[in-house]
Amino acid sequence: MTVKNWRIGLALAAALAGGWGMNAFASGAAGAFHWTSSAPLISPQADPEQKIYGVKDPSVVYVNGKYHVFMTTAGAKGWGLAYTSFDQWSNAAAAKIVPLDKSPMGPGYRAAPQVFYFAPQKKWYLVYQGGDPLYSTSDDISDPMSWSAPKPFFPVIPDIVKPPQGKGWLDFWVICDEKKCYLFNTDDHGRLLRSETDLGRFPHGFRNTVVVMAEKTADLFEASNTYRIANTGTYITLVEAISPQGRYFRIWKSDRLDGKWETYSAAPMNAFASSDNVERLWSEGISHGEMIRTNVDQTMTIDPCRPLEYLFQGNDPAVRVDDYIKLPYRLGIITAKGANPISALCR
């Protein structure tokens, strides 16, 4: 969530509270996920130009011996993008966070990044929202000043996301198979949408924007992220939802990116990660994040034979603010414990 009415989330959580018990996501359910949390690893740093309230919406790749993390900064001047890198998570807190507004990307509203290496073009892509979906490219992920000026994915906004058919779009996510690239997004109103283009035309030619899933607003809210599970024919999609205990992620699976999505956890509400199945959680729920992947390319692949790690945004539940942008978001990692539906696919 970035420039959105965060009071929607508060109202939805309050409305749900009467009908949801504290054990709504009982971690003991068979076929469910179990996690343990790190402490906060990346926090806002002093900025001479503005007060930074929070860092959020992380995207991460590991390449050339370093983690490269892109994030949204929430500051007194609004929303922007920033970058940091480090060799191991124990050094993340000390690593300098570099705002990207001095790069050719320029200043202005930028949020919710996704970074990946598009192998057919041998270029890095940074996908983000600036109202509509935008992208920048770079030949050197380690140089934060190398990102190109923003370009739109769509020359014309699809009718399905404009009133009266839709209510906007946000949190854009690209993943490709052998023939096509797909752009997924949510809309804060219970819909997951998908657009597509041919692999050879990317980043141009996106079309056929359709609704993939539609549920209650609280149950399918925002921040979708989709992955291929290595050495299988399975894909998973995670979407952030809202409960009285805070934000959490639900999980679905499919055998193709343009196929039907089915629930993929035996826990109530097919929960993936929530305040009820994460040990040592310092945050009010699990919010917008990304899996730490086994590769860096456009296939967005994760390895079922390695413990799952998920970099997420969390906030101190004791802090109450009068404006969403002031929430003290920090970044931390949850690590899977024991068997789960994804690890069961390890061969």
User: Residue 40, preceding bond cis, omega within 30 degrees?
Assistant: no
Instruction: Work out the end-to-end distance of the chain between its first and last CA atoms, rounded to an integer number of angstroms.
Output: 37
Q: CA 91 → CA 66, 84, 262, distances in Å?
A: 11, 11, 39
Burial 201-218 (b: 16+ CB within 10 A, else e): ebbeebeebeebbeeebb
Percent of the chain's residues with pLDDT above 90 = 90
Question: Residue 1: inside a domain, yes or no?
Answer: no
Instruction: Give the bridge partners for 330, in sequence order.
Output: 314
Other CB atoms closer than 10 Å to residue 143's CB: what's the count? 12
pLDDT, tens only, 246-304:
999 999 999 999 999 999 999 999 999 999 999 999 999 999 999 999 899 999 999 99
Q: Considering the domain boundaries, does residue 45 fall inside one? A: yes
Q: Can you say whether residue 236 is alpha, beta or left, with left for phi > 0 and alpha for psi between -120 and 50 degrees? A: beta
Q: Is the CB of residue 32 less than 8 Å from the CB of residue 270? A: no
d(CA 114, CA 195): 16
Residue with the two structure tokens 């970074």 = 115
At 162, which CATH number? 2.115.10.20
Within 10 A of 295 (CB to CB), how many other CB atoms are there? Answer: 18
Residue span of the structural domain in which 318 resides: 6-345
* Residue 221 near residue 241 (C-beta atoms within 8 A): yes
Q: How many domains does the chain have?
A: 1
pLDDT in tens, 115-144: 999 999 999 999 999 999 999 999 999 999
For the chain, the maximum distance between any two Cα atoms, rounded to a whole number of angstroms, is 52
Could you count the other beta carbons within 10 Å of the beta carbon of residue 344? 10
Phi, psi (degrees; rounded to nearest 5) at 9: -60, -45
ω into 203 cis (within 30 of 0): yes
**Is residue 28 in a domain?**
yes
Burial class of residue 331 in the structure, from the number of CB atoms within 10 Å of its CB (0-12 exposed, 13-18 middle, 19+ buried): buried
Q: Rounded to whole angstroms, what are the CA distances from 346 to 61, 62, 229, 340?
A: 22, 22, 9, 11
Q: Answer whether residue 240 is part of any domain.
A: yes
φ/ψ (deg, to 5) at 128: -160, 170
Instruction: Give the global pTM.
Output: 0.93
pLDDT (0 to 100) of residue 27: 36
In this structure, the dihedral spanned by the alpha carbons of residues 207, 182, 72 and 126, taken in order and rounded to 10 degrees, is -90
Q: In angstroms, how far is CA 224 from the centroid of its own chain?
A: 6
Return d(Cα 106, Cα 118) in angstroms, integer: 23
Q: What is the pLDDT of residues 73-120, one digit of tens each?
A: 999 999 999 999 999 999 999 999 999 999 999 999 999 999 999 999
d(CA 101, CA 160): 31
Nearest Cα neighbor of 35 from 346, 261, 308, 325 is 308
Tell me, what's the pLDDT at 109? 97
